[in-house]
Structures are given as C-alpha cells and as structure tokens.
Amino acid sequence: MSNGQLIVDSIDSPALGRKRKIRVWLPVGYDPSHGGGYPVIYASDAQMKFTDRDAELPYGSWGVDQWITRLGVPVVVVAVDNSPQRMKEYFPLTEEFARYQKFLVEDLVPHARERFGVATDPARVAHMGSSMGGILSFALTLNNPGVFGNALCLSPWFEVERYRYLYEVLKQVDSKPPIRVYMDSGIQDWRMQDDGHRGTLDARLELLRLGFNEGEDLDWCRDLFFPLAADYEGSAVKEDKRPLSMQNQHTEFHWRRRLERPLRFFYRGFGR
C-alpha cells in the first residue's frame, strides 16, 4: 500500500434501504481542516481500486492510491463496492440505476462532504469507472452537473443493449452540459472484439456535436498497447492470467497503466 490512509466503512442509505460498503482513501498529509475542501473522485467497483487488494485480484488493482501519491496532487477517493446488482445499478436505463444514483447524490456525497471535508465545487469533483462503471460515470455526470463536474470513463460499455443509452439518451441531448469528459478504449477485449471502441467513438462524436472541445473539456484516447512478458515484471498480474492479458485490454492491468491520463485531465480542470 502506498502512503496515505485507506478507510473501509459502510453507510446507511435511505435511498437503497440498506447499508453500503465504501472504501475511502485519504492522501498523504490529509488534514480534515483543509480550507476549500479536497478535490474528490467518487468511484465504482471499489474492490478493484486500491493496492491493498493487489494480492487478491487476478489482474491486480487500479493502484489509484499509488498514482495519486506519485502525481503529488492531494485528492480524496470515495469508492463504493459493487453489488450482485452491478449490471442493473450501473446501466442508466433501469430502476436500479435510478435508486443507485439517488444513493450517490443524496446519501454518499453529503456523507463525504461532512466527514472527509471534500470539495463541493463540481470542477473539483469527478466520478470514475471502467466498463459498466464507465457508462455509469458518464450518465451520473451528465445527469448531475451540479454535483459531478468531471466524468472519467475508462473502456465505457456503451454497447449494452444495442447501444440503447447512446440512442435513447445521448443522441437526444440538444445543449452542451457544463461538464468535462475523459474517455478511452482499447481495441481488443476478452471476446477478441473492440473493447467498446465503437461506442466510445460514437459518444465522442455526440459530445463534439454538442460543442465539446478536445484538449479542453473533452479528452479521448485509443490504447494500442499490447504487453509482452517483460512488461509484467513487478506487476500484480497473476502468472496464469498474463497470457490472456497480453490480448485482452479490458482488465485492471490496462486501466492501471492508463490511469495517469484521466487523472491529469481532472487536475487541469481546477488548475493543477
């Protein structure tokens, strides 16, 4: 584990009608009286985010704590464990998503602000996720620009239900929302398909249609990197998973490797 403090806790959620497990990482030098509030990243799939779980995960974790420590910008990360309802909670066209969104906005965000002193200015607030968590981050930010000012979407899975979210929601938006969006994709996943690349390209075109400017409030990249055996030296990827990971870019190993870019994109939004 890198420097900083990881707190594993749960909070009561009136929106969900039950407790929900969260993992909160406080950066090096964290001071609860910090003026103005710490920049904060809310995140999905908390079990995959921090290095304390590297030994348990087949591809290791995202190493979010290590990246933030390395880049030197103190940011609090508030991550929620996924549940057996993950697919439904993360897909924006379900009742489960509506309840999960209410939990995040009405239960989790106020809790984090009160207990951990995190920022309220949307420019200093992001939501981050990958795959289904990536489309979750996109939809949450689009729906709640007064809460989340930045969507950090790694390999977002827009293709779910034949691209329903793209056609039924994003293509119907007719004015530019006051948010910033990072998206990426690989070009190959475990199915030997495109890691959601087509959907990410379609979403990018819709954001450009709405007036987003690449290099300012939109960043997008295509990952063409495929590792060799030597690239796993010092990594947390288990030996038996390395051959598959050489072909499949839809894993924590690849999201960890790509994480610097969305973090720097977030930091630029508040002048760091």
Mean pLDDT for back-to-back runs of 10 residues, the chain (272 residues): 86 96 96 86 98 96 97 97 97 98 98 95 98 98 98 97 97 97 97 95 98 97 96 96 96 97 97 90
Q: Is the CATH number of domain 5-268 3.40.50.720?
A: no
Compute the residue count for the chain: 272
Q: What is the dihedral angle through the alpha carbons of 233, 24, 264, 203, rounded to the nearest 10 degrees?
A: 100
Cβ neighbour number for residue 227 with a 10 Å cutoff:
17
Question: 62-88: string of b/e by CB count within 10 Å (b at 16+)?
Answer: bbbbbbbbeeebbbbbbbbbbeeebeb
The pLDDT score that the predictor gives to residue 106 is: 98
Q: Which residues contact 170 (CB under 8 A, 6 or more apart)?
A: 142, 203, 206
The pLDDT score that the predictor gives to residue 34 is: 76
| Cβ atoms of residues 186 and 250 within 8 Å | yes
Cβ neighbour number for residue 105 with a 10 Å cutoff:
17
The pLDDT score that the predictor gives to residue 2 is: 64
Instruction: With H, G, I as helix, E, B as strand and everything else as coil, classify residue 54.
Output: coil
Burial of 213 (0-12, 13-18, 19+ CB in 10 A): exposed
H helix or E strand, kind and range, residue 95: helix 95-102
| Cβ atoms of residues 87 and 132 within 8 Å | yes
What residues does each domain of the chain span?
A: 5-268
Q: Which residues contact 160 (CB under 8 A, 6 or more apart)?
A: 91, 132, 135
Cβ neighbour number for residue 13 with a 10 Å cutoff:
20
**What letter would DSSP give residue 28?**
T
Burial of 19 (0-12, 13-18, 19+ CB in 10 A): exposed
User: Among 258, 181, 194, 177, which residue's Cα sits nearest to residue 225?
Assistant: 258
- For tokens 């940011």, what's the residue? 75
